[in-house]
Structure 1
Amino acid sequence: MNIRKRALVFLMAFIGCKTTFAITLADSTKNKTTSIFNPKNSKDYSNKGRFYVHWGYNFSFYSKSNIHFKGPGYNFTLHKVHAADRPSKLNWDYINPVEITIPQFNFHFGYYIKDNYSISLGWDHMKYVVNTPQKVTITGYIHPEISNPAIQTGAYAGTYDHEEFEIKEDFVTFEHTDGYNFATVSLERYDDIWVAHNKKQYLTMETGFDTGLLIPRTDATLFGVGKNHYWNVAGWGASAKVGAKFFFSKHFFLQGSFKSGFTNLSRIRTTGRKAFDNARQNINFFEHYYVLGFVI
């Protein structure tokens, strides 16, 4: 992975963590927390001990990634592969209870351990699609027959040493579209930016840190052999986030956030013969999402 990209991701994570764990000044008589923005007004209630839930949708961008394929008769890496997300077109799936999980969605359930800190469990359902055709470089080897039972590789058999190579569908198709699922445990901090005179509506900044597991359902083929697999724990990841929440009232809010993260997928299913054929890759992502939430 590109060192500059890794440094950028971890720098953002460090900034998120530093903000999240910043020292808070508390007003003990009112059970309120002083914001780093020092707004003119303060809300007249505390969120401590309350639960929240939010639901919404995301768009994501991915850095170029090396994908390593390995199994009987082959061991090769496709370098700097470009991929994109696949958001659903605006249609009834976004509000149809039966189809609502098809688009790229975000779901979090959290608890305020203090007025300005919360912990949450989340599920970011992103999608990752390798573009075909595209030109990359390849290293490694491919025998005329691979896997078990044997798959014929035809003209793709050979030894490669950073040759330019075009990914076509008869060679590899590769996507985490059902999806590139990031199941997380998160810690968030809030700093009020603005509070209305009535002390009910307010705008707050959220910063936080997520860590968790990648549970993709990968749709992949290798020389025409493969399928849309069941979900599996393929690796782990970590991310930092920053965003803003606008509370219409004590109970409802609208949020927009940005998240940058690193994920390590070391157990990706390809042909479906998981005892033989697998892949691995590291993915850096940048996600922006918009959600509607409710506080209990």
Structure 2
Amino acid sequence: MYRRILNRSFLLLIFTGLALQLQAQEKKKKSYLGFVGNGSLYFSWGYNTEWYTGSTVHVNQPSLNNDYKLVGVRAHDRRGWDDNFFHTALTVPQYNYRLGYFFNEKQDFAIEINFDHTKYIITDGQQAHLKGKLNGEQTDRHIDYSSSNGFYYFLNNGANFLLFNLVKRFQVYHTDDKKFKVDLLAKAGVGPVIPHVENAFFGKDNDPGFQLGGWNMGVETALRVTGMKYVYLEFAQKVDYARYSNLKIYEGTARQSFGTYELILSLGINLPTGKNNPQYKSRAYMQSLQEVRQ
């Protein structure tokens, strides 16, 4: 009998342990589903304008015996609507998009894919300081950097900053029914640059094309105003630092780095991935839900 009681107790202990384990797994599963199910996805499309710091372009053409720098050149962007907005495709101007996901319970942290199609053009007609080896001889002089003199340098179809950002949201004002919201977002990240390079040095032009050309990092602050719960307008400013390398030129490569200041205006949509997302439910509803859970 003692052995029977011991065996039954042992079996009861096993079954109790299994039941507790299953309960813990179910609780963990529900917690995970709550984490995923009550998130929110957002997407925006917009346009930008940029200002660039001075930059030094390092040109290396071994077969031509060239290894020189264009020191401190100035550059500008190219807004599509400056030419003829109504005859310009949507993707030709300097555009940007954001794709993100708010993932935590408070909905104040997100991960984001952040892309800016920015155009970088070395300003025509400036006096550029050329320093280094040209045709095998050392030189240190100023040249007329202009298309008429055989020079142009475009990241014209995109300097193309791609960042993978971490986003923090700060609530400024939300109505009780969450139909109107004002939020401040802070973003930071790193990623590759994907430039489209077109250039000519001393009349020798390259075969233009897209390439992976280095990396960049940036920080951004944005004011987001949401109406009708789901649609928002976002105005942002961004500072980016990019380092380009192995850019394709005639018979060689170029490299450079520069800083960028951007102003960005975007229109977006934000959609919940669960029915109890606190960003889309009234305060009264969330309080009643919390009481039921307790």
TM-score, normalised on structure 1?
Answer: 0.73
Structure 2, unpaired ranges of 5+ = 1-36, 272-294
Instruction: Tell me the equivalent position of 1:211.
Output: 190
Question: 1:48: Cα distance to partner?
Answer: 4.6
**Bigger-Rg structure (1/2):** 2
Instruction: Tell me the equivalent position of 1:135.
Output: 127
Instruction: Tell me the equivalent position of 2:265.
Output: 290
Instruction: Tell me the equivalent position of 1:185.
Output: 164
The 5-angstrom pairing of residues 1-296 of structure 1 reads 48-72=38-62, 73-89=65-81, 91-92=85-86, 99-114=89-104, 115-143=107-135, 158-161=137-140, 163-169=141-147, 170-227=149-206, 229-271=208-250, 276-296=251-271
The runs of at least 4 aligned residues of structure 1 exceeding 6 Å deviation read none
1: CA distance, partners of 2:253 / 2:151: 13
Secondary structure at the aligned position of 2:39 is classed as: coil
Task: Say which is worse superposed, 188-197 or 120-129, in terms of deviation.
Answer: 188-197
Secondary structure at the aligned position of 2:209 is classed as: coil
2: CA distance, partners of 1:121 / 1:82: 29
2: CA distance, partners of 1:87 / 1:228: 24
Q: What is the letter of the counterpart of residue 142 of structure 2?
A: E
Question: 1:80: Cα distance to partner?
Answer: 0.6
2: CA distance, partners of 1:231 / 1:48: 39
Aligned residues: 229
Question: 1:122: Cα distance to partner?
Answer: 2.4
1:60-113 deviation digits (Å, cap 9, x = unpaired): 01000000001121011011100000001262366xxxx221110001111111
Secondary structure at the aligned position of 1:140 is classed as: strand
CA contact (8 A) 2:150 2:204 kept: no
Secondary structure at the aligned position of 1:92 is classed as: helix
| Higher strand residue share | 1
Instruction: Tell me the equivalent position of 2:21.
Output: none
Question: 1:228: Cα distance to partner?
Answer: 5.5
1: CA distance, partners of 2:182 / 2:44: 16
Structure 1, unpaired ranges of 5+ = 1-46, 145-157
CA contact (8 A) 2:206 2:248 kept: no
| Higher helix residue share | 2
TM-score, normalised on structure 2?
Answer: 0.74
Q: What is the letter of the counterpart of residue 91 of structure 1?
A: F
CA contact (8 A) 1:235 1:265 kept: yes
1: CA distance, partners of 2:112 / 2:38: 14
1: CA distance, partners of 2:54 / 2:177: 49
CA contact (8 A) 1:205 1:243 kept: yes
Question: 1:174: Cα distance to partner?
Answer: 0.3
Secondary structure at the aligned position of 1:178 is classed as: coil
Identity %, equivalent residues: 23
1: CA distance, partners of 2:207 / 2:232: 37
Secondary structure at the aligned position of 1:102 is classed as: coil
Secondary structure at the aligned position of 1:139 is classed as: strand
